[in-house]
Structure 1
Amino acid sequence: MSVAEVVGHPGYARRVSDTVEHERVPARRVLGLAVPALGVLAAEPLYVLVDTAVVGHLGALPLAGLALGGTLLSLVSTQLTFLSYGTTARTARLHGAGRRAEAVGEGVQATWLAFAVGLVVLVAGQLLAEPVARAMSGDPAITERAVSWLRIALFGAPLILVTMAGNGWMRGVQDAVRPLRYVLAGNALSAVLSPVLVYPAGLGLEGSAVANVAAQAVAGGLYLRALAKQRVGLAPRPRVMWAQLRLGRDLVLRSLAFQACFVSAAAVAARTSTEAVAAHQVVLQLWTFLSLVLDSVAIAAQSLVGAALGAGSRRQARGIANQITRYGLALGVVLAVVFAALSQTLPHAFTSDAGVLAEIPNAWWFFVALQPVAGVVFALDGVLLGAADASFLRNATVGSAVLGFLPMVWASLVFGWGLAGIWTGLALFMVLRLVFVVARWRSGHWAVVGAVRA
């Protein structure tokens, strides 16, 4: 039996010894998980671009309202990604142990949790939308438009979280294609519906929010139908949901550390100069885009490593970790070479302002040099997430933020170091994370076998 069959038939790994031939999986297997995952990750930013283009023709005020409302909704959903990543980790282990029904059952409980948390977000959002938007914008007109959009869009929050949970359990059982189809179906509907509701139907900015909810309803409904077809118990199990929340706590704290870093960087850039914050935005958006590419490899690592550990094969899990890390490094090097070559031309696609173009190199070469580092860090993040080693990742991320990023970023404001200081902070953040995750990877302490990690 081939390695691909071992991964495809998880129970087999329990009946063989941990021999060297089972340390790797075929590259096509990694790509089969990573490429659809990249499609899912990229679908939302692409939809946001389409929606922005539609609303942008209404004028500056509706566009500002969409920007603020969309940012607030995104901040909430970003903090709850544990419903995706945590569910993948737990589901993959059970799948690897040959316990598919229980693996899908994790998806059922994550879906119940998504509904519960989503309803809390919906109610709290309706109550807090206006004061939070007012505090962030300081402009009554922008606040009014943002709140009008947000209060409609929030009705999609439970379904956004259901989609996250669905992505999580399907990745865990190594079904990477259906999530892509489901997300694309929802976003395609919204891309068609948004301009119709905004213009001919005359709903304006609010039409965009209605289209957003419709997209989430379609995607969420497809995931719910997929669960119903699995013929597993659908009753809520509080004990399982509580275990998922414990794992989620660590991932939420980790996400908060990321938010603190990037919000601080934006705030310091804004206080440096208009040209500096514009240049920072250009390079940061490219960084975010390439992060999606690298994160797709990490998602493949989560699924494969979790399955190997669930099957009791520590050697295979470590072999996959080594393999994925090499892929991450190679991809990072390729991206660094490509964007180094584009340094004189690509920035002109984003701006023609001479002052902004003069500032971009102060961040650009950090962005380029960090790609190989990011390739390894993202790959090992995926390995450790697949091993459900969330408490370590929490500590490593928070420690890197407190020791590296935040002091350097705020020192940049005090001493006037500008973009170079801000991106030095990001470099310290990534290098510290690299040191932490490489040390953990080399130690092997993450490789705890069993269907469920204690």
Structure 2
Amino acid sequence: MQQRDREILRLAVPAFLALVAEPLFLLTDAAIVGHLGTAELAGLGIAAVVLQTVVGLCVFLAYGTTAAVARLLGVGDLRRALAQGVDGIWLAVGIGVVATAVGVPLADPLVRAFGAGERVSDFGVTYLQIALLGVTPLLVMLAATGVLRGLQDVRTPLVVAVLGNALNAALNFLLVFGLGPFPALGVAGAALGSVVAQVLCAVALTVVVARGARRHGASLRPDLRGIRAAGRAAVPLLVRTLTLRAALLVTTYAAVLAAARAVEGDEAVTLAANQLAFTIWGFLAFVLDAIAIAAQALTGRSLGAGDLEGTRATTRRMVQWGVGSGVVTGVVLAASSPWLGRLFTPDAAVQAALAGVLLVIAVGQPLAGVVFVLDGVLIGAGDGTYLAWGGVAVLAVYAPAVLAAAVLLPSLLAVWAALAFVFMGARGVVLVHRARTEAWMVTGA
């Protein structure tokens, strides 16, 4: 038990720190832009949902690569593991270029489709058009991080994430408010600073992977057959991720709908509070996902080595860690909810709206811990097809529930209660049911 705990901690602690650092890109943007004004923050919120959807749909570049590389590590074939990793990075480049080329001209209609006011939408379009230029480096970061995690190296992504966030914070402050020869660019400065930091992080991670590939004799050239194979293997995880992102988009639409139907309250206040809630919820999700990252790497490696008993024992222990982590994050969030909003905005109305939502999120954290861990286990096992169909089923349950909450109980609190308990509860049922079977425990490369 102690040895298993040490192995989980060896992977989870650096992954935790790196994952905490990743959402700080948006947290930093939100904290700085929030001091420009409520409309600016609300616009950033809508743009962030679109951007996170584009990038989030491609999270398979990290998850799928981690599982594939870890399996080959368990088999003992490092050259092939790194070759698959390089193919994943090239796939990320191709997807990123296409996403940017398509996304930039569509930024305006995408933001305005949320139905926010003209001023809020203008700020959102400005931020999104610039931020989309960072999609390719973001996807390369995902793929390269997946390779390193599969190789059980979680320290390198941590170092890059910490340095990248420090640079992002400095650039954002400089470009948003201006200093010396640098003009104050406002919302545009926040997006530009993030793009520059993302490019440098992507270069650093790619250099590390390339050095490992050369050392073990893996080619750095794009292998069309390998890239196509990586793309085909990623389709189920893409569907799974698409259902998750669709659920978050429906939640944002429900928040806009609730704000429009509410008898009291300002629409911009509700949307700004919703953006901050999403940012904090995403931050906590990444915290819980640290154990899921360990689950992906350990499950892939142990199944690759044919160790079924070890896989089952590690899964049980990681679920316990997930529950414990959820309890801790929930207690900390509940205790900080009365004042946390002050870090992001001086608007008292936004602070008040946010405080109640944070309490709802806090109560749901232990359930979220179980969901994230089991999701990581099944991803590590390569059980993407089940996760895809399970995601479709969960979305079919959740979408009408959250829209009904927005119409019948038009408040941000009702929308977030649906997310924390209906959405996460349905996911929990789907994942626990699968984890109790042996259908996902397939061994070998």
Using structure 1 for the length normalisation, give the TM-score.
0.83
* Paired letter, 1:202: P
The corresponding residue for 2:337 is 346
Residue 278 of structure 2 corresponds to residue 300 of structure 1: no
Q: Is residue 337–residue 359 contact of structure 2 (8 Å, CA) maintained in 1?
A: no
Q: Given the superposition, is the C-alpha separation of residues 197 and 427 from structure 1 closer, same or farther in structure 2, using an over 3 Å criterion? A: closer
Q: How does 1:2-17 map to 2 (within 5 A)?
A: none
Residue 386 of structure 2 corresponds to residue 408 of structure 1: no
Q: Given the superposition, is the C-alpha separation of residues 118 and 189 from structure 1 closer, same or farther in structure 2, using an over 3 Å criterion? A: same
Distance 2:28 2:353 in 1: 29
Q: Which runs of 5+ in 2 are unaligned?
A: none
Distance 1:242 1:287 in 2: 35
Q: Given the superposition, is the C-alpha separation of residues 147 and 289 from structure 1 closer, same or farther in structure 2, using an over 3 Å criterion? A: closer
Distance 1:33 1:181 in 2: 14
Q: Percent identity?
A: 37
The corresponding residue for 1:267 is 253
Q: Is residue 97–residue 311 contact of structure 1 (8 Å, CA) maintained in 2?
A: yes
* Paired letter, 1:119: V
1:92 to 70, 76, 84: 70
Residue 33 of structure 2 corresponds to residue 51 of structure 1: no
* Paired letter, 2:388: R
- Name whichever of 263-272 and 91-100 sits farther off: 263-272
Q: 1:151-198: CA deviations, max 9, x gaps? A: 333332211111000110100000000011112222222222233334
Q: Which SS does the other structure have where 2:72 is aligned? A: helix
Q: Is residue 25–residue 320 contact of structure 1 (8 Å, CA) maintained in 2?
A: no
Q: Which one has a bigger Cα radius of gyration? A: 1
Residue 225 of structure 1: CA displacement?
Answer: 1.1
- Name whichever of 288-297 and 167-176 sits farther off: 288-297
The corresponding residue for 2:149 is 171
Q: Given the superposition, is the C-alpha separation of residues 125 and 447 from structure 1 closer, same or farther in structure 2, using an over 3 Å criterion? A: same
Q: How does 1:173-192 map to 2 (within 5 A)?
A: 173-192=151-170
Q: 1:30-56: CA deviations, max 9, x gaps? A: 112112212222223323233344445
1:244 to 223, 226, 230: 230
The corresponding residue for 2:4 is 26
Q: Which SS does the other structure have where 2:113 is aligned? A: helix
Residue 430 of structure 2 corresponds to residue 430 of structure 1: no
Residue 65 of structure 1: CA displacement?
Answer: 5.0
Q: Which SS does the other structure have where 1:346 is aligned? A: helix
- Name whichever of 69-78 and 434-443 sits farther off: 69-78
Please give the root-mean-square deviation of Cα atoms over the aligned residues, in Å. 3.0
2:15 to 17, 33, 37: 37
Q: Is residue 412–residue 422 contact of structure 1 (8 Å, CA) maintained in 2?
A: no
Q: 1:209-254: CA deviations, max 9, x gaps? A: 3322221121111122112212121122223222322332222222
The corresponding residue for 1:103 is 81
- Name whichever of 367-376 and 386-395 sits farther off: 367-376
Q: Is residue 37–residue 296 contact of structure 1 (8 Å, CA) maintained in 2?
A: yes
Distance 1:216 1:282 in 2: 22
Residue 29 of structure 1: CA displacement?
Answer: 1.9
Residue 393 of structure 1: CA displacement?
Answer: 1.1
Q: Is residue 293–residue 376 contact of structure 2 (8 Å, CA) maintained in 1?
A: yes
Q: How does 1:69-218 map to 2 (within 5 A)?
A: 69-136=47-114, 142-198=120-176, 199-200=178-179, 201-202=182-183, 204-205=185-186, 206-218=188-200
* Paired letter, 1:251: L
Distance 1:440 1:408 in 2: 24
* Paired letter, 1:448: V
Q: Is residue 14–residue 155 contact of structure 2 (8 Å, CA) maintained in 1?
A: yes
Q: Which SS does the other structure have where 1:234 is aligned? A: coil
* Paired letter, 1:374: A
Distance 1:111 1:81 in 2: 12
Q: Which runs of 5+ in 1 are unaligned?
A: 1-22
Distance 1:57 1:47 in 2: 16
Q: Which SS does the other structure have where 2:23 is aligned? A: helix
Q: 1:346-396: CA deviations, max 9, x gaps? A: 3344379689859965x6665444332222221111110100111111212
Q: Which SS does the other structure have where 1:229 is aligned? A: helix
Residue 100 of structure 1: CA displacement?
Answer: 1.1
Residue 62 of structure 1: CA displacement?
Answer: 5.3
Distance 1:353 1:149 in 2: 25
Distance 1:155 1:336 in 2: 35
Q: Given the superposition, is the C-alpha separation of residues 353 and 134 from structure 1 closer, same or farther in structure 2, using an over 3 Å criterion? A: closer
Count residues with an aligned counterpart: 424
* Paired letter, 1:347: P
The corresponding residue for 1:445 is 439
Residue 402 of structure 1: CA displacement?
Answer: 1.0
Q: Given the superposition, is the C-alpha separation of residues 152 and 367 from structure 1 closer, same or farther in structure 2, using an over 3 Å criterion? A: closer
* Paired letter, 1:183: A
Distance 2:432 2:221 in 1: 41
* Paired letter, 2:24: L
The corresponding residue for 1:382 is 376
Q: Is residue 96–residue 139 contact of structure 2 (8 Å, CA) maintained in 1?
A: yes
Distance 2:169 2:89 in 1: 26
* Paired letter, 1:411: A
Q: Which SS does the other structure have where 1:219 is aligned? A: helix
Q: Is residue 280–residue 360 contact of structure 1 (8 Å, CA) maintained in 2?
A: no
Distance 2:2 2:224 in 1: 37
